Amino acid sequence: MNDDGSPEPRQSGWPGLRRKLFHLLFLFRRPMTLGVRAVVYDRAFNSVFLIRHTYVPGLQLPGGGVETGETALQALERELHEEGNIRLTASPKLRSVHFNRHASKRDHVMLYLVTEFEQETAKTPDYEIAEAGFFPVDDLPEDTTVGTRRRIAEMLAGADVSPYW
């Protein structure tokens, strides 16, 4: 689709096939992964929502990968619901994009600030999420990951934004 919502003209024949082949080649030669995370901030209690996965150590911001055919916003909405029973009530603000060189040579994470939301019910542990809840910004648990602490400081305390996760 074009920016105005109209469909893009489709190429057919050799040009269309060539375009598809180049995209397939780029997929193998230059695979890139994209993820989304959010600082879900409750102003009333000066707290942030953090999760603990069952398969990696430490508390971290909710989020995950953007799936094929999904927009970053759709991925964020899905992840917040799955990991925290959180529903957006207004548009989140994209605040930064980070290169996550610890995950791979091609992983990027889009970080959003969420201040308007509803939590349907508290998240109970399941096969993926061992713990989830709101924690005071000025008293984060000891095992909050370094990257999570940095992103919260950038988002809420005015720290310089790093291009790296």
Q: Which residue has the higher pLDDT, 35 or 7?
A: 35
The answer to whether position 122 is within a domain reads yes
Cα angle value 30/73/139 (rounded, 5°): 100
Which residues contact residue 93 at a Cβ distance below 8 angstroms, ignoring those fewer than 6 apart?
112, 113
- Angstrom distance (rounded) from CA 82 to CA 11: 38
**118 confidence band (pLDDT: 50, 70, 90):** very high
The answer to whether position 10 is within a domain reads no
pLDDT (0 to 100) of residue 101: 84
The answer to whether position 51 is within a domain reads yes
Please name the residue that has the structure tokens 């060189």. Answer: 101
The answer to whether position 24 is within a domain reads no
Instruction: Say which CATH number the domain at 54 has.
Output: 3.90.79.10
Distances (CA, A) of 151 to 48, 104, 139: 11, 19, 15
Q: Which residues pair with 136 in a beta bridge?
A: 47
The answer to whether position 44 is within a domain reads yes
Name the residue range of residue 49's domain.
32-156
The answer to whether position 63 is within a domain reads yes
The answer to whether position 70 is within a domain reads yes
The answer to whether position 1 is within a domain reads no
Q: How many domains are there within the chain?
A: 1
The pLDDT tens digits for 26-81 are 455 557 789 999 999 999 999 999 999 998 899 999 999 999 899 999 999 999 99
